[in-house]
Amino acid sequence: MTSPAIAHIIDGKQIASDIRSEVKQGVDARILLGKRPPGLRVVLVGENPASQSYVRGKKRASEEVGIIAETLLHPEDMPEADLLNLIEQLNNDPDVDGILVQLPLPDHIDEDKVILAIDPDKDVDGFHPVSVGRLVLGQAGFEPCTPAGIVELLKRSGVETSGAHAVIVGRSNIVGKPMATLLLRRGLDCTVTVCHSRTKDLPSITRQADILIAAIGRANFITASMVKEGAAVIDVGINRIDDATRERGYRLVGDVDFKDVSEKVGWITPVPGGVGPMTIAMLLQNTLHAANRRDT
């Protein structure tokens, strides 16, 4: 892999904006053909401020590309059975192409049961066990938005993946594991290593990475001594650290010590403005795909 002479800062905002424009073109093309715009329903149970803000962002972004998005707000004490009924209604609604249940759900609701209730053909988050199975088997289905967004960042930044050693730190169901599956896929062809909190001598492994993906949830955890010169470093982490100079009293940093690491590597994503904007862009893309697939 030939890396740039100076670290190339991967502009997730720009790449996400390009993808949103492509989705808009896809939506416009549907309308020209006399088809209805894609429909997305976002279900939010409770009043978690972070979830409220994510849901607002998803609705706004959907509307900008012509997707009809509705947010269904329900109180914290919504019974599980009512949520399951609501999902059943959305599964049967012909105007709904994508269903997204914002996580986390309140403690009295079984998340697994709720995800299982979503029609896999409307599972635009890609969390349903059928979607996970399709991903592993390489069949058409929905890819989880964050890892799918990372693949786009790599491709559109010219990072060579074929034969590259990709090291992923983190083995969660929403990032680490699907990331490993995607990078292993024919066409991307990475050799993949997945690390976690019990991995022995983590730096000796991360230093071998041509592509290093940090999905840990620990501020500035990956330091310059843990990366190989010229590597592509993708920082998934979103961590709040206290910052009295900011009005809100904190700032967001990634899992990678950006300043030091960026002096050594070939490519790096910033936080914010790297992986974050891609997650919503891929949700829009999945929703358009859902609508197009349901037509055929």
* Minimum separation from the CB atom of position 169 to ligand NDP (A): 5
* Separation between Cα atoms, residue 233 and residue 140, nearest integer Å: 28
3-state secondary structure of 5: coil
* Minimum separation from the CB atom of position 4 to ligand NDP (A): 23
Task: Tell me whether residue 120 or residue 217 sits nearer to ligand NDP (CB atom).
Answer: 217
Query: Given 58, 122, 177, 228, which residue is catalytic?
Result: 58
Query: Given 11, 97, 102, 257, which residue is catalytic?
Result: 102
Whether the Cβ atoms of residue 15 and residue 4 lie closer than 8 Å to each other: no
Task: Tell me whether residue 254 or residue 266 sits nearer to ligand NDP (CB atom).
Answer: 254
* Minimum separation from the CB atom of position 220 to ligand NDP (A): 12
Beta strands in 128-279 (DSSP E): 165-169, 191-195, 211-214, 232-235, 239-242, 250-253, 267-268
Task: Tell me whether residue 171 or residue 294 sits nearer to ligand NDP (CB atom).
Answer: 171
60 CB contacts (<8 Å, ≥6 apart)?
A: none
Annotated active-site residue 210? The verdict is: no
Tell which residue, 264, 211, 218, has the closest CA to residue 241: 218
Tell which residue, 67, 82, 232, has the closest CA to residue 166: 232
Annotated active-site residue 102? The verdict is: yes
List of residues contacting ligand NDP (CB under 6 A) = 146, 169-172, 174-176, 195-199, 202, 215-218, 236-239, 275-276, 279
Query: Given 97, 123, 125, 255, which residue is catalytic?
Result: 125
Annotated active-site residue 58? The verdict is: yes
Report the length, in residues, of the chain. Answer: 296
217 sits in the region (left: phi over 0; alpha: psi -120 to 50; else beta) called left
* Minimum separation from the CB atom of position 177 to ligand NDP (A): 9
Q: Which residue is nearest to ligand NDP (CB)?
A: 172
Whether the Cβ atoms of residue 87 and residue 99 lie closer than 8 Å to each other: yes
Task: Tell me whether residue 90 or residue 211 sits nearer to ligand NDP (CB atom).
Answer: 211
Task: Tell me whether residue 114 or residue 215 sits nearer to ligand NDP (CB atom).
Answer: 215
* Minimum separation from the CB atom of position 17 to ligand NDP (A): 16
Residues that are catalytic: 58, 102, 125
